[in-house]
Amino acid sequence: MPGLMSLLDAVLAPIFDDLVPGASPALRPSQRADFQADGALQVARALGRAPREVAQEILSRAMERGLEQMCDRAEVAGPGFINLRLSAGMLAGRLARLRPGAEGLGAPVQRRRLKVVVDYGGPNAAKQMHVGHLRSSIIGDALVRALRAVGHDVVRENHIGDWGANFGMLVEHLCDLGEDRGAEELAMGDLETFYQAARAQYETDASFAERARARVVLLQSGDPATLRLWRLLVDASVAHFDRDFQRLGVELTREDVVGESFYNPMLEDVVTELAAAGLLVDSDGARCVFPPGHTNREGAPLPLIVQNSAGGFTYAATDLAAIKDRTQRIGADLIVYVVGLPQTEHFKMVFAVARMAGWLGPSSEAVHVGFGNVLGPDGKMFRTRQGGTVKLSELLQEAEDRARALMIARTEQTGQPLDGDMARTAAAVGIGAIKYADLSTDRTRDYRFDWDRMLSFDGNTAPYIQYAHARVCSIFRRAGTAADLTAMAGRALPPEEDEERELAKTVLCFGDALQSSVESYGPHKLCAYLFELASGFTRFYEKCRVLDVAPAELRASRLALCAATGEVLAYGLGLLGIEAPERM
RNA sequence: GCCCCCGUAGCUCAGCGGAUAGAGCGGCCGCCUUCUAAGCGGAAGGUCGCAGGUUCGAACCCUGCCGGGGGCGCCA
């Protein structure tokens, strides 16, 4: 049950490929028709023939191969474009085949099921999560859901910072507080306070600093008592993360935590293997690999340092160990790193070294899915009014509060009490707004965090799309029937009104949108699609009556279209990790 | 100094080789006897940073420049 565009592509592509191997129809939505294929111009150039003539030949062959049954208008236009308008009967036929769930709605299920590991940059243990961690969890979560929807086998790994020198001072601070009181503070209070206290002590108290350094040595040498305290700290952090992640509505849980400490025992082997492969170079006492093509500010080769001159392993070593573990033990075909853009060069180097070492090979690859910063409404780094970092938990609370306030304002304005679960809806709308604002623009750009805009019910926002879905649900509540797509899909008649036709078309393009979203690791493409679908539905809703229309067949047909729309809206929002309340 | 990203309507952003550059917001004009007006329609608004080049065709590719952000050996 592919999307309309891939359906057309399936007919056209073989003809293009036959004329010029590798040539593509270059299909895209068109203002003059439903779709247009621009590829004939390329083919004509390669063949040295007249473009319109080539386009006509392609079109004729396509018509014989099934295009005729799909289109009620198919013509060559302009310099050699092929314009295609689908027949209403064809649209009805496709609607009839819609079923709930990924494949039934048109998700392009991949021919090869890949084992995909998604690495979320991960917060540091013993520190509070803040807006900086928002993006990797939100984007990562959306990618995981989309990759799974198209049939991949996805493993989440939350690569938290749970190891390193910081833990010396943290463990000592825990000792000073006393284990019981410390544990209580960690569980109840926020981690930031604990971390700051330890940090302050470390900076002002020389003897404490000395103990902290000694503690690091104990930790690294595997001292059981120290490890137990370390574990306490990490567990407390993970418990906090769990709470935030759950509230944010991302799938990450403690089960997905694979922190730096996990790779610790493998680092020695990583370095040994790099040495054995002849890749390791000693430079000023540090052990490095020099992947070609990277230079430092003096123009000299830039090293990837895996072990510093003090003998400590760096995060490059950890990243390499993680790649090795994922491809060799887990059997990953693809590793996706959802980490900020500033690390671009680091990952390029790590991937290059992993390939040199053979940990990434012909059958496995890694991609860095980078993202920009979160900026405040003023265009500068997002901060509290006091200039501190914004805590995630407080941000989420504010989102829910603001959403609730908007809902209350509305009920006062209309005089209609909200009959649903106010708290739950407020959470769905508030959290959804945050996530959608993050996901709806190209992830590689910085994005501006603006409460009023993201919570607006107008424009490309989560509330607007959720509202369209709620209206669908409202229709079915009044109709007194369930929005059962399986039962209703077959009742769709060939659409007659423009708004019906456009809506039907958009519903049937879900698979195309998901496809391009997954291919580019770009959730914003799915967002753009859902916005188009929601606005298409709203236009339909304004123009076409559903419940009080005659004859009964038309009513049933429109209900079927509503059911399909509601299903795709809810499913699509679900892929973004956003809830679709039935009432708003 | 070198490398990467960004510069599209007043604002926030899509588009990234194809036919007159698209949305949303804001401003202006309309639309609630009717399934949630938290909505819809309309008109206005752009030398796609600048200058060259490649191409039948460039916002999109190449070169240079200007402006903004980031990175560039022992933190992660």
Give the CATH H-level superfamily of domain A115-160+262-374.
HUPs (3.40.50.620)
- Which of residues 113 to 172 on A have a Cβ less than 7 angstroms from any strand B atom? 124, 161, 164-165
pLDDT in tens, A389-399: 888 999 999 99
- Which of residues 250 to 309 on A have a Cβ less than 7 angstroms from any strand B atom? 260, 283-286, 288, 295-297, 299-300, 302-303, 305, 308-309
Separation of alpha carbons A330 and A341, rounded Å: 26
pLDDT score at A419: 64
- How do the domains of chain A map onto residue ranges? 4-86, 115-160+262-374, 166-252, 393-575
What lies within 8 Å, CB to CB, of A453 at 6+ separation is: A437, A459, A461
What lies within 8 Å, CB to CB, of A432 at 6+ separation is: A462, A463, A466, A573, A578, A579
pLDDT score at A118: 97
pLDDT at A418 over 70: no
**At what angle are helices A191-204 and A166-177 packed, to 10 degrees?**
100
A128/A511: higher pLDDT: A511
For chain A, how many residues are written?
Answer: 584
Q: What is the mean pLDDT of residues A560-580?
A: 98
pLDDT in tens, A356-377: 999 998 999 999 999 999 998 7
CA of A224 to C1' of B73 (A): 34
pLDDT score at A291: 93
Q: Is the CB of A23 under 7 A from strand B?
A: no
Q: How confident is the model at residue A495 (pLDDT cuts 50, 70, 90)?
A: very high
pLDDT at A353 over 80: yes
| Nearest nucleotide to A541, CA against C1' atoms | B35
- Report which residue is nearest nucleotide B35 when distances run from CA to C1': A475
* DSSP, res A289: E
Whether the Cβ atoms of residue A105 and residue A146 lie closer than 8 Å to each other: no
Q: Is A341 helix (H, G, I), strand (E, B) or coil?
A: helix
Classify A4-86 by CATH class. Answer: alpha beta
CA of A71 to C1' of B57 (A): 28
pLDDT at A581 over 80: yes
pLDDT in tens, A144-175: 999 999 999 999 999 999 998 889 999 999 99
Q: Is the CB of A223 under 7 A from strand B?
A: no
Q: What is the mean pLDDT of residues A294-302?
A: 83
Domain A393-575 falls in which CATH fold? Isoleucyl-tRNA Synthetase; Domain 1 (1.10.730)
Task: Annotate A278-304 with b (16+ C-beta within 10 A) or e (fewer).
Answer: ebbeeeeebbbbbbeeeeeeeeeebbb
What lies within 8 Å, CB to CB, of A489 at 6+ separation is: A95, A96, A97, A98, A99, A560, A563, A564
CA of A377 to C1' of B50 (A): 29
Would A4-86 and A393-575 be classified into the same CATH topology?
Answer: no
pLDDT at A405 over 80: yes
Looking at this predicted complex, what is its ipTM?
Answer: 0.96
Separation of alpha carbons A415 and A409, rounded Å: 10
pLDDT at A565 over 90: yes
pLDDT at A563 over 70: yes
Q: Is the CB of A418 under 7 A from strand B?
A: yes
pLDDT in tens, A442-454: 999 998 899 999 9
CA of A468 to C1' of B15 (A): 25
**What share of chain A has pLDDT > 70, as a percent?**
99
The average confidence (pLDDT) of chain A is 93
